[in-house]
Structure 1
Amino acid sequence: MFKINTIDGNNRMSTQDLLESVNAALAEGETEFYIEASGQHDIGGPLWHPEGKTLKFFVKNAGQRVGSMCLPGTEIIVEGSASADVGWLNAGGRIVVKGDGGDTTAHCAAAGSIYVGGRAGTRSGSLMKHDPLFDAPEFWVLKNVGSFSFEFMGGGIAVVCGYDSEKFESVLGDRACTGMVGGIVYFRGKASGISAKDTKILSLNAEDIAYLDGKMDDFLTAVDRTEIRNQLTDWSQWQKVVPLSYDERPKKANTNLNSFRTGTWVPGSIFGDVCDDDFAVIGAIATGEYRRRVPVWENTKYSAPCEFNCTASIPSQQRFNLLRDGKIDEAYRLVLEYTPFPGSVCGAVCPNLCMDDCTRKTVDISAQIGRLGSYSAEAELPKAEAKTGKHVAVVGGGAAGLTAAWQLARLGHDVTVYEADAKVGGKMEQVIPRSRLPQETLTREIRRIAEMGVTLKTGVAVDKEKFAAIKDSHDAVVVATGAHITKVIPWPGHEQLVKGLDFLKAINRGERPAIGKRVIVIGCGNSGMDVAVGAYGLGAEQVTCIDVQRPAAFEHELAHVKNLGGEILWPVTTKEITAEGIITQEGQLIKGDTIIISIGESPDLGFIADGIEFDRGCLKPAGDFSVAPGIFTAGDTIRPGRLVDAIGAGREAALAAHAYLNSSSYAANQKTKIPAGRMSTAYFKKCHSCDLPEANNDYTRCISCGTCRDCHMCLKSCPENAITRTIGATGAEYASDPNKCIGCGICSGICPCGIWSMDTNAEPIKFYR
């Protein structure tokens, strides 16, 4: 807490020095302030924390305007009383004065709350107002207020509790609520002199009582007077003041304002020498250039959470929209523009990060995006209409390499994939258990890549000489050899370890590696769980999986191993490998006949030409995925990761290589996730897991965040019929007619997809010469 005493001997700190000290402390990260003031002004004013943390001020002996222009996230507690203008122009802060407030307390308050634990002076609550885009300001006074209170009040809520005020003829003072046009004033006790031409006094209804009763505890706790709650909650003693409606107010004779301005007032206007006055009278509700805000249709400006979280950038909301429109084949083909493995990866082994942050989860259950991929396993895309005459080599036939080859072939290039193994597919073919990734699905999707025109050459080991030959015979090269070297820590006895990657590859080749009855797996990631499952499939009686940290595998993978009888232990740090098992750093022996290590892999890049930059054993590409002119890389050669990461990188590398072949530059598309507050989910009915449709029918639940789902809600809800719908090249398009639109914001508020935004009207008004 930052503490400061503004009196040093006979010297008093100036207001400017105090405020500068507070700002300096705030810049150093302080969020709580205790100030022994001596009448300094503006303490706790318009301040904010760069990280959005709450700022708290504890103040004694405050001067004028404590909490003036206070912002949201600021709380000010004043011990004792404060002088004039407490909370002047309060814009969202919480201000508590435990004693009396001076004149014009809460003057011009527009948001936030002001609590006074004593009396408030004259003109308190005057000019309070309420911007409907924000919560209404609240002003509570325990005792009474002075004359001219709530003068010209335009909005907000004021509460005068009238405690210890029986001696006053009016707890609202004299001539209260003069010129009041908005808001509400609750008061307890006697009141007189209230402007009858502007207001009326009513009894409380159930909604009023609910509000006062719900807020009373917060107020009394803040001002340390909880013991008088029962005394203040006899609602028969309370009334309220509200402004008269337009129809209730006395009317004056009609005056032709335009005639007055052009004839009676100064001809040409009082400012005729500097501006051209059109003498138009701008009403509270305006169209065209005089609107305060204008709607903007921002279709596809933002990424949906599913698209943003997917490292392959698949716009699943667009797939669901196509299904909703009955364009089934088009929906299934759309995913092929981003990945050639919708069935193998999206529908089988992907962790489906797209579903983790799905907006639908705020209603019930995420849309079934993962399962949707399996419907695209047999979809087809047409070949490129024309060939470019360029030849591209892809070294490595895993997820990244085959994705790059697929994309480059679709762009019209001749592509050859060089794979060292007998089959292409990388870890999808060699490592992932068939139980998780069916062989027929992968085979079908690799066949689709070949049918796109990609030449697949297997059994080709690439060394430096071969790589140089490939580079010389092709216009560009994409290196995507993956990571196939199991990481091994050189503990004593590490020679006895079985490498997890070799173990899984052997199983997928149809072999049966010899293992003991008790197996220890070092590493509790998803690969470690695959090793454990494989060990049980080979006849292991007990599998113990250990890790130095919390297991990184998915919960369902951990649960599967546990259901098979496996044991998950962490944190466990290995000290030595012995014939009996593992000795931990604590000296404990974990018995095991076979010990398999699966703590990650690194790439084998010994074939890379000299001069290419490395970073911790991996390639270090530029922003366009290039490591040298005409040589690009993707996937585990940059950083070992998930299959979906490799697919996304493979696509980006292909687009970068395509730009290079066309002598242009390439920059990756930066995605921006749509702010959650833009969507309106109240229109969607909840369902339970038992009510879920099939994935290809889940478009009824998809909110289509950031992409128009053509629901017509804005069209039907616009009170001025200002919105029009047309069919363009990409589907339905909506627009707002500025000559009809009044800037009310209903279209933005009702849009479930967050397409409409309300922007400040930037259209210049031609007025000054």
Structure 2
Amino acid sequence: MGKVTGFMEYERIDEGYAPVAARLKNYKEFVVGLDDAQAKIQGARCMDCGTPFCNNGCPVNNIIPDFNDLVYRQDWKNAIEVLHSTNNFPEFTGRICPAPCEAACTLNVNDDPVGIKSIEHAIIDHAWENGWVVPRPAKRRTGRKVAVVGAGPAGLAAAQQLARAGHDVTLFEKNDRAGGLLRYGIPDFKLDKSHIDRRVEQMQAEGVVFRTGVAVGAAKDTLGKGSKVTNWAKETVTPEQLQAGFDAVLLTGGAEQSRDLPVPGRDLDGIHFAMEFLPQQNKVNAGDKLKGQIMATGKHVIVIGGGDTGSDCVGTSNRHGAASVVQFELMPRPPEQENRPLTWPYWPIKLRTSSSHEEGCEREFAIATKEFIGEKGKVTGLKTVHVEFKDGKFVDIPGTEKTYQADLVLLAMGFTGPVAPVLDAFGIEKDARGNAKATTDFTGGYATSVPKVFAAGDMRRGQSLVVWAIREGRQAARAVDEFLMGFSDLPR
């Protein structure tokens, strides 16, 4: 694959970024992708390693060595055919996937891995520019009707696969636009929403019917109560209506229940979940008018949570013009470089600095918030202490107490599971974590305890990556197709 000696001759080339000062002025994407010559060199670095661990490192099992080789040979059209055979939306994963495939790259044992993500990004951009991404409607219709609930990456992937199998697919989404967390969660500067819009247009041409602003399984004014879930539904559909009107129902909602921080002072104004803060800016960027938008302008911002969502809060706060941004992480500071002989080919724990961190952010590790403090009902600061993990729990380190100034606190500590009313309304059995209970077995996979109702994505597996959502959507589509037809030609 690639050039036989390429991995010895060429260094890794990373995608570039627009200057910080320029990109902070707007919400546009700022990644500078590889040009054809750079992509060719990256493809040349792919080793003929015999056992391509990158395939298993990738949740959708992208056929990575094959498309690397095709890019090396500059055969872009066949490269997108190979990429699309396993991944419905490489423009999403090529931008926001953390690339576990690169961690699993054989070259990563003792060198920099092949830039697989940047190659994927280049392939799909070439495909759109050259008009190779076109609707692929089914040649025959089955007459079977499928309702897919939740238009995030899992629902989009499942709906597209089922429509291409010839089924009549209706995709229900509680928000006013399709995309789920891709639309209302991930900032525009990481994923421009035009990428979602053109996929929606493609899917509509393939026969998928989109019904946005429709809440399923709960009244629109109660959906997400207590979790601050984004919900702009204007209509409600009951489980009974879906079960009566469709031959199968696939639930692909997200794990939207935000993890809270119940410490003294939590009820002060100025403390918000990340998923209250981020969706509002996305709506404003889309041209919507909002009253009372949560703004970081001129404020001292504390982001609690060191993951991707926290990083997105950092980047958005900097674009608002925050006076300062500090990000807290409960876990200790990880090493700069992983222990490769110990961790390869698995996803390693190491310090990861995002583009948002580089734009301006102080990071604190092994720190816990003990209390929010405020004046006149508004948050003004936090009392913290550094912690260490001992005897199976975090314990405070005496003498490390500190008070931080804060005008805005954003809670980005992850998600505990799906919004309960949806699963409760269907009467679906849950697992120990509150997710929809359904296996991924080859036969009867993704089926819930309720007849002809299936579940996939974060609603089934819990909080996860967009690439896992796409995988589960594709696999669930095959399971539904097999349930309806007795067999399936869809790839699993």
TM-score normalised by structure 2 residue count:
0.69
Q: Deviations over 1:329-372 (max 9, x none)?
A: 23212322322211122x21111111112124458543332123
Q: Is 1:338 matched with 2:86?
A: yes
Q: Deviations over 1:276-305 (max 9, x none)?
A: xxxxxxxxxxxxxxxxxxxxxxxx9x9621
Displacement of 1:476 after TM fit? 0.9
Moved segments of 4+, more than 6 Å: 551-557, 665-669
1:518/1:542 contact within 8 Å kept: yes
Displacement of 1:643 after TM fit? 0.7
1:47-86 matches, cutoff 5 A: none
Displacement of 1:494 after TM fit? 1.3
1:142-541 matches, cutoff 5 A: 304-323=52-71, 328-345=76-93, 347-361=94-108, 365-374=112-121, 375-377=123-125, 378=128, 379-380=133-134, 382-463=136-217, 466-496=238-268, 497-510=271-284, 512-515=293-296, 517-541=299-323
Q: Is 1:625 matched with 2:446?
A: yes
2:403 to 583, 586, 589: 589
Distance 1:470 1:382 in 2: 26
Displacement of 1:559 after TM fit? 4.8
Residue 484 of structure 2 corresponds to: 661
Letter in 1 for 2:62: I
Distance 2:431 2:491 in 1: 21
Distance 2:71 2:325 in 1: 45
Displacement of 1:568 after TM fit? 0.6
Displacement of 1:322 after TM fit? 4.5
Q: CA RMSD in A?
A: 2.8
Q: Deviations over 1:660-714 (max 9, x none)?
A: 1123599997xxxxxxxxxxxxxxxxxxxxxxxxxxxxxxxxxxxxxxxxxxxxx
Aligned pair in 2 of structure 1 residues 556, 339: CA closer, same or farther (>3 Å)? farther
Q: Deviations over 1:41-93 (max 9, x none)?
A: xxxxxxxxxxxxxxxxxxxxxxxxxxxxxxxxxxxxxxxxxxxxxxxxxxxxx
Letter in 2 for 1:565: G
Displacement of 1:324 after TM fit? 6.0
Aligned pair in 2 of structure 1 residues 592, 323: CA closer, same or farther (>3 Å)? closer
2:428/2:436 contact within 8 Å kept: no
1:340/1:449 contact within 8 Å kept: no
Q: Is 1:652 matched with 2:475?
A: yes
Displacement of 1:435 after TM fit? 1.1
Q: Deviations over 1:191-220 (max 9, x none)?
A: xxxxxxxxxxxxxxxxxxxxxxxxxxxxxx
Displacement of 1:557 after TM fit? 6.2
Displacement of 1:548 after TM fit? 1.1
Residue 574 of structure 1 corresponds to: 369
2:314/2:357 contact within 8 Å kept: no
2:481/2:488 contact within 8 Å kept: no
Distance 1:619 1:330 in 2: 38
Displacement of 1:533 after TM fit? 1.2
Q: Deviations over 1:234-286 (max 9, x none)?
A: xxxxxxxxxxxxxxxxxxxxxxxxxxxxxxxxxxxxxxxxxxxxxxxxxxxxx
Secondary structure, aligned partner of 1:385: coil
1:333/1:380 contact within 8 Å kept: no
Q: Deviations over 1:606-643 (max 9, x none)?
A: 12322533432211112311113321111111211011
Distance 1:406 1:412 in 2: 10
Letter in 2 for 1:566: C
Distance 1:317 1:383 in 2: 29
Displacement of 1:440 after TM fit? 2.3
Q: Is 1:607 matched with 2:418?
A: no
1:598 to 412, 425, 441: 412
Which one has the largest radius of gyration? 1
Letter in 1 for 2:92: S
For structure 2, which runs of at least 5 residues remain unmatched after alignment? 1-47, 219-236, 285-289, 335-347, 375-379, 386-399
Aligned pair in 2 of structure 1 residues 425, 667: CA closer, same or farther (>3 Å)? closer
Letter in 2 for 1:607: V
Mean Cα deviation higher: 505-514 or 413-422: 505-514
Displacement of 1:504 after TM fit? 0.4
Letter in 2 for 1:648: R
Residue 563 of structure 1 corresponds to: 358
Residue 634 of structure 1 corresponds to: 456
Distance 1:668 1:348 in 2: 24
- Matched residue pairs, number? 368
Distance 2:162 2:463 in 1: 23
2:446/2:456 contact within 8 Å kept: yes
Distance 2:428 2:456 in 1: 18
Displacement of 1:381 after TM fit? 5.7
Greater helix proportion: 2
1:526/1:557 contact within 8 Å kept: no
Distance 1:310 1:337 in 2: 14
Q: Taking every aligned residue pair, what percent have the same amino acid on both sides?
A: 28
Distance 1:419 1:573 in 2: 36
Distance 1:500 1:652 in 2: 30
Displacement of 1:429 after TM fit? 0.9
1:479/1:632 contact within 8 Å kept: yes
2:324 to 521, 542, 551: 542
Displacement of 1:452 after TM fit? 2.1
1:340/1:445 contact within 8 Å kept: no
Aligned pair in 2 of structure 1 residues 618, 425: CA closer, same or farther (>3 Å)? same
1:433/1:508 contact within 8 Å kept: yes
Distance 2:216 2:354 in 1: 40
TM-score normalised by structure 1 residue count:
0.45
Aligned pair in 2 of structure 1 residues 596, 325: CA closer, same or farther (>3 Å)? closer
Secondary structure, aligned partner of 1:397: coil
Q: Deviations over 1:417-436 (max 9, x none)?
A: 00010100111111111111
2:318/2:360 contact within 8 Å kept: no
Secondary structure, aligned partner of 2:322: coil
Aligned pair in 2 of structure 1 residues 419, 658: CA closer, same or farther (>3 Å)? same
Letter in 1 for 2:437: K
Distance 1:536 1:409 in 2: 41
Distance 1:474 1:501 in 2: 32
Aligned pair in 2 of structure 1 residues 539, 325: CA closer, same or farther (>3 Å)? closer
Aligned pair in 2 of structure 1 residues 611, 504: CA closer, same or farther (>3 Å)? closer
